Amino acid sequence: MKNILITGGAGFIGSHLVRLMVNKYPQYNIINLDKLTYAGNLENLKDIESYTNYQFVKGDICDYEFVMNLFREKSIDGVIHLAAESHVDRSIKDPFSFANTNVLGTLSLLQAAKNYWGESGREGFKGKLFYHVSTDEVYGSLEQDGTFFTEDTKYDPHSPYSASKAASDHFVRAYFDTYGLPIVISNCSNNYGSYQFPEKLIPLFINNICNNKPLPVYGKGENVRDWLYVEDHAIAIDLIFHKGKNGDTYNIGGFNEWRNIDLIKVMIKTVDRLLGRPEGSSETLITYVTDRAGHDLRYAIDSTKLHKELGWSPSLQFEEGIERTVAWYLNNKEWLNRVTSGDYQRYYEEMYKE
């Protein structure tokens, strides 16, 4: 029996990972630690909440004493750390929350892992692992020149979000170098799929197209992102958690680059078709707005290492992934309505009163 702590499991990627791990590993106890910020929603995990190998714990990763007690109480053997503030626009308005959660929160988890596993010396680190889930945004921005981010690309973050994630990556590596804490890091490209909070591009735009609301496109929509289906990210995390090399970094991406404006047109066509509107008719909703400050031009991940060493490739073609994603949001209007109205938080506030 292994006790695995997943942080941020009520969020977008975390909920997919928790579902995968709970279903695939009945022999593990999966403990989901989440503060339930605006981005955390336990409704994302309704289908597995009664499983005997799953437990939810409400708490803040920044609270070291609380985290240390949790390690002791649950005899934690491994950590997969996803909890974070994750929205770039919010980081521009409130950088302190990002430094607090992403940097100090990660530090508090690292310190608890080191102190708990290392109570009887470095021998205690055997069989343990601290897995830190990070982003390709730490690498900065690429030109439109066909180059890719590899694991050796120099860090060059530009937004408060990416700077906070870069700092947390450095702390994780520092714990490996200084204390010998077993760690692994992955840096992934943009994810898309079900259960994503509708402040992010894909769910926001699907929702706006459905409701005939404007589609605010930054600049000329020429920024390029590399999109990966969220379930493929969860599969990669599972693989790296079990087979990744201690101290290593793995890039995760789908070799699937899209200019924002082209992606938006694909979403428009798909939503129009599924709603029985003339395909492309919702393009009139596109509204160009002032570009985001410090907006990185292009991200593109080279995930060759992960493919060659651990045999991972994305399982889904983008066309199928986006079709599934649009269909999911159209078929789960209640989820979308509760999230956009804030009702999901009121419900869980009652349930988890402190």
Binding site for ligand NAD (CB under 6 A): 7-8, 10-14, 34-37, 39-40, 60-62, 82-84, 86, 101, 105, 133, 135, 165, 188, 190-191, 197
By beta-carbon distance, which residue lies closest to ligand NAD?
A: 11
334 is catalytic: no
Minimum Å gap between C-beta 61 and ligand NAD is: 4
Contact 50, 227 (CB under 8 A): no
Minimum Å gap between C-beta 87 and ligand NAD is: 7
Dist CA 137 CA 140 (whole Å): 6
Dist CA 45 CA 284 (whole Å): 36
Minimum Å gap between C-beta 272 and ligand NAD is: 25
Choosing from 34, 137, 226, 302, which is the catalytic residue?
137
DSSP β-ladder status, 257-259 and 224-229: antiparallel
Minimum Å gap between C-beta 279 and ligand NAD is: 27
Name the residue nearer to ligand NAD (CB basis): 90 or 273: 90
Contacting residues for 19 by C-beta, under 8 A, at least 6 apart: 45, 47, 48, 234
List alpha helices for the chain, DSSP H: 12-24, 64-74, 88-93, 95-98, 106-117, 160-179, 201-210, 230-243, 260-274, 304-310, 318-331, 333-341, 343-351
Name the residue nearer to ligand NAD (CB basis): 60 or 282: 60
Choosing from 54, 116, 161, 175, which is the catalytic residue?
161
137 is catalytic: yes
Dist CA 301 CA 226 (whole Å): 7
Name the residue nearer to ligand NAD (CB basis): 54 or 125: 54
Minimum Å gap between C-beta 292 and ligand NAD is: 16
Choosing from 34, 43, 85, 136, which is the catalytic residue?
136
Name the residue nearer to ligand NAD (CB basis): 186 or 270: 186
262 is catalytic: no
Identify the residue whose tokens are 């892992």: 113
Identify the residue whose tokens are 């599934």: 324
Name the residue nearer to ligand NAD (CB basis): 198 or 247: 198
Residues forming the active site: 136-137, 161
